[in-house]
Amino acid sequence: MHGVNKRRDVEFIKDDNDRLRAKCLDLCKWVIYVKRLFDTDTFELRTYNRRHTCSKVWSSRIYNSNLVSNLYIDDFRPNPNMIISHLLFSIWKAKKLIISKSQGLRTKKKTLDKVIRKVKEQFAMLENYIAELLRANPVSTNVLKIEENEIDKFQRIYICFDALTQGFVKGCRKLIRFDSCRLKSANGEQRLTAVGIDANNGLYPVAWALVETENKDSWSWFLRLLIDDIHICDSSD
């Protein structure tokens, strides 16, 4: 990061478990050499000339797509369709560094791959999470829905604890408020919630779900499960 922070084109001559030697490009005198002391985790600074005799650069080879993708992954997560010019402008604004459009495209691809891989890893843990919820709350309703046509692709999850439905039926007004919000994820999942009003006029969570998108089908699915859990029946007859 010295090269990025000082805006110098630093090159690693040697970089292994025991030794690191780096120098600045061209005729600059800046150089650093550290060596691991025998059989320890301590490194000794053998050579360090801290003074640069070169000029600042406005692009750096160190600022490669891997480094940029790690720095900007949190910006891509809620906004996977970020256009490249926005990324290039953000890097210029924050670091005063210029990266090429092709490097920006590589960065975007790498970042989205990391985001999608992370999401898949986390959703893969949902089955264990549901199993644990059912073990601790055996009467509760917890539904995990995986898309049939794709391997292990998360579609929906619904959670409604028996203790909450009992509390709602016995202690809340017969009123439920529904709401939804979009999650800051690469796939844009939505959270659906059903909230009651308790005896103190406080909000009382009843059930919630994550769905692939908010539409008639996902709301109908959520409402059908909720109706079963709180035993709503048609009393109009």
Q: Which residues of the chain form contacts with Zn ion (CB under 5 A)?
A: 8, 24, 28, 30, 52, 54
Sign of CA dihedral 88, 91, 92, 98: negative
Nearest distance in Å: CB 97, Zn ion: 16
Q: Where on the phi/psi map is residue 188: left (φ > 0), alpha (ψ -120 to 50), or beta?
A: left
Instruction: Report the residue number, 24 or 211, with the smaller CB distance to Zn ion.
Output: 24
Instruction: Report the residue number, 22 or 160, with the smaller CB distance to Zn ion.
Output: 22
The closest alpha carbon to 172, from 149, 127, 140, 206, belongs to 206
d(CA 88, CA 99): 7
Instruction: Report the residue number, 54 or 84, with the smaller CB distance to Zn ion.
Output: 54
Nearest distance in Å: CB 28, Zn ion: 3
Nearest distance in Å: CB 211, Zn ion: 54
Instruction: Report the residue number, 30 or 158, with the smaller CB distance to Zn ion.
Output: 30
Instruction: Report the residue number, 31 or 126, with the smaller CB distance to Zn ion.
Output: 31
Instruction: Report the residue number, 54 or 223, with the smaller CB distance to Zn ion.
Output: 54
Instruction: Report the residue number, 54 or 73, with the smaller CB distance to Zn ion.
Output: 54
In the chain, what is the greatest distance between 2 CA atoms, to the nearest angstrom? 92
